[in-house]
Structure 1
Amino acid sequence: MTTRPATVADLPAIDQVFRTSFCDTFAHLYDPRDLAAFLAGFTPEGWAAEFADPAYAFQVGEAEGAVVGYAKLGPNKLPHVAPGDVIELKQLYLLKEAHGTGIARALIDWVQAEARRRGASRMALSVWSENWRAQAFYKRYGFVDRGPVTFMVGNHPDEDRVWEAAL
């Protein structure tokens, strides 16, 4: 397993990791129409626009030359977090086969280092309120729960929790 900066050529693989991981983890929670509407919001043009924006940063995790995970940083848009030198971990997704391999640790280490390099002293993220595995992972990195936020999947509102950590 290795990590490296993402390239434009990685965007289709990042999209596939996102869709596969999200659906493997959460699809059973939603009406298929809500899931389809949510996923339709992630387009090749959208991924490319974020990738081209210097406010965002992407890192991929690979196994045997294939992208099996990624992390994306960007401007904070979450509530319950004081403004200032804060950055948001927008996404950290892995394929099931990459769980337990150390790739998540490598990606979060990159996330924290990149956030510091960008001048952030704090990081925010959101996690579904019942995603205990992710919450335990982030707690190990010093994240603390700051409060609820509604996360929409189509017309289905979920309760996420906003988490924040000092870097």
Structure 2
Amino acid sequence: MKKISIQKITLNDIEQLQKIGQQTFFETFSESNTEQNMTTYLEEGFSVEKLSSELNNENAEFYFALQNDNPIGYLKLNFGQSQTELQDDKGLEIERIYVLKEYHGKSVGQLLYDKAIAIAKVKNADYVWLGVWEENHRAISFYKKNGFIEFNKHIFKLGNDEQTDLMMKLKLIEY
């Protein structure tokens, strides 16, 4: 397998981000959700307007995993008030780590995850947290393997379907 690089995403990359965002979300969740709910979420959640706003937000960062300059996965981080919940300046949220299905099991997610942890340490975060769908067993075991523990739950709305996300946390600083 060719070397994979991690690169920060800018507004110039918005079309590639939209494409990989929609494709990876579809690959991950389409089997478990209605076509209508998927279509609605893909259109709204990955609209150019929404992605532009997120890319322009100084408290959010996106990164591509690239192979031969082609995005094969991506990462979205939130800091401070941009976090979807908690909004603690000592926390960093991993909002998304998504990898194209054909690259599952090839350590791409781990590379993106390692980048997130490195950034959290640079920003002096005390902990990293995330929400993961309770039915996404593959992701849950990945995060548990990396030391995350479940601390709460919240509701994620996909179209008209309310789904439960497990909230998981990893402490970076031991007191």
Q: Which amino acid aligns with 2:120?
A: A
- What does residue 84 of structure 2 align with? 77
CA distance in 1 between counterparts of 2:126 and 2:161 reads 34
Q: Which consecutive residues of structure 1, in runs of 5 or more, have no partner in the other structure? A: none
CA distance in 1 between counterparts of 2:87 and 2:65 reads 31
1:116 aligns with 2:121: yes
Deviation of 1:120 (Å) = 1.3
Deviation of 1:84 (Å) = 4.5
Deviation of 1:25 (Å) = 1.7
Contact 1:2–1:103 under 8 Å retained in 2: no
Deviation of 1:119 (Å) = 2.6
- Larger RCO: 1 or 2 (CA < 8 Å, sep 6+): 1
CA distance in 2 between counterparts of 1:27 and 1:3 reads 27
Calculate the TM-score normalised by the size of structure 2: 0.87
Q: Which runs of 4+ in 1 moved over 3 A?
A: 81-84
SS of match in other structure, 1:111: helix
Deviation of 1:98 (Å) = 1.8
Deviation of 1:161 (Å) = 0.5
Percent identity between the two aligned chains? 26
* 1:119-158 to 2 correspondences below 5 Å: 119-158=124-163
CA distance in 2 between counterparts of 1:76 and 1:87 reads 7
**Greater mean alpha carbon deviation, residues 108-117 or residues 36-45:** 36-45
Aligned residues: 165
Deviation of 1:53 (Å) = 1.1
Deviation of 1:12 (Å) = 1.5
CA distance in 1 between counterparts of 2:89 and 2:8 reads 26
SS of match in other structure, 1:123: strand
Q: Which consecutive residues of structure 2, in runs of 5 or more, have no partner in the other structure? A: none
Deviation of 1:82 (Å) = 8.6
Deviation of 1:24 (Å) = 1.3
Over aligned residues, Cα RMSD in angstroms? 1.6
Q: Kindly provide the CA deviation profile for residues 108-164 of structure 1, in whole angstroms up to 9, marking residues without a partner as x.
A: 111011122223111110111011110111112211111221111000111110111
- What does residue 71 of structure 2 align with? 67
Calculate the TM-score normalised by the size of structure 1: 0.91
Q: Which amino acid aligns with 2:163?
A: D
